[in-house]
Amino acid sequence: AQKITQTQPGMFVQEKEAVTLDCTYDTSDQSYGLFWYKQPSSGEMIFLIYQGSYDEQNATEGRYSLNFQKARKSANLVISASQLGDSAMYFCAMREAVQGAQKLVFGQGTRLTINP
């Protein structure tokens, strides 16, 4: 079973609009962490935002916010006021303990294209 599911292979959004990228996860752990990374065409993965499973508040980092719905096991990324530079692949990832070690598992990603 997929640990991380990103159901949107591609998204197209007009510049300055807000966009939500979906992510659902599957775990039986009580303690876990959720990350979003951005991967531009240059290849490096850029850390955007983190949400801990015990955090009561949704995480925010500038224009990025994470809509964390624990009961639904979803951790959607919201980008407000999108910019042309936001065009990239976006990956949701979950950190969980596997055999005593912390492991980061990634989804398949969503390609976001911002149109001028």
Partner 1 sequence: EAGVVQSPRYKIIEKKQPVAFWCNPISGHNTLYWYLQNLGQGPELLIRYENEEAVDDSQLPKDRFSAERLKGVDSTLKIQPAELGDSAVYLCASSWGGSSYNEQFFGPGTRLTVL
Could you give the C-alpha distances from 7 to 2, 30, 109, in angstroms and in order?
Answer: 11, 24, 9
Q: Provide the minimum distance between the beta carbon of 64 and partner 1 in the complex, in angstroms, as a whole number.
A: 14
Which runs of E-coded beta strand occur in the chain? 4-5, 10-14, 19-21, 24-25, 33-39, 46-52, 60-61, 64-69, 74-79, 88-98, 101-106, 110-115
Helix/strand/coil for 59 = coil
Applying CB under 8 A, among 24, 25, 96, 109 the residue interacting with partner 1 is: 109
57 lies in the site for partner 1, by CB under 8 A = no
Q: Provide the minimum distance between the beta carbon of 84 and partner 1 in the complex, in angstroms, as a whole number.
A: 21
79 lies in the site for partner 1, by CB under 8 A = no
Applying CB under 8 A, among 28, 41, 43, 116 the residue interacting with partner 1 is: 43
Applying CB under 8 A, among 28, 41, 42, 57 the residue interacting with partner 1 is: 42
Cβ proximity of 80 and 19 under 8 Å:
no
DSSP character at residue 80: S
32 lies in the site for partner 1, by CB under 8 A = no
108 lies in the site for partner 1, by CB under 8 A = yes
Footprint on this chain of partner 1 (rule: CB under 8 A): 4, 33, 35, 37, 42-47, 50, 52, 91, 93, 95, 101-104, 106-109
